[in-house]
Amino acid sequence: MKLLYSLIFLFLWDSTIPKVNQKVIEYVDKVVGKRVARGECWDLAAAALDHAGAYLDRSSQKTIYIFGRELNPEKDKIFPGDIIQIENLKMEYTVGNMIYTENMTHHTAIIYEVLGPDHYKIAHQNTSFSGKKVGISELNLEHVKKGEIIYYRPFKK
């Protein structure tokens, strides 16, 4: 049933990715496996937005960064190239007989691919699996127990 739901979602989903988002993904494709700037998570988003000629509010760096127009994922379509800011996220999931827990207290990532509703591949760095280099991993929001994700749509300066 979940597969059928995902196929229907992908069929109905408008696949017209905004031009600025396309430029963000173009940049990510160039830097996968490489370190961007200092290797901090937000450095990837900042460099990708710069490459795309997109807006970045650097005035709020001591709290939450502003990477574009804030989205409501319940109403707005999420596209590759959208930026997410993760705050105090705790995820828990089971594989076989093992229960895994992941925590992200303050992390920035780029939606790299939309796999289905609330299920993404994300590009990010400064992680346990890729270190200070850009890597791609899955983020399945069905596993979220607590925390917040803020979605942003990049737009031209």
pLDDT at 5 over 80: no
pTM (two decimals)? 0.86
Query: Residue 57's pLDDT is what?
Result: 80
pLDDT at 36 over 90: yes
Average pLDDT over residues 140-151: 96
* Sign of the torsion formed by the C-alpha atoms of 69, 45, 78 and 29: positive
Domain count, the chain: 1
Structure tokens at 50: 């710069």
* Residue 9, in any domain of the structure: no
d(CA 64, CA 58): 10
* Residue 2, in any domain of the structure: no
Q: 115-131, pLDDT tens digit by residue?
A: 999 999 999 999 998 99
d(CA 65, CA 73): 18
Domain that holds residue 126: 19-153
Query: Residue 157's pLDDT is what?
Result: 86
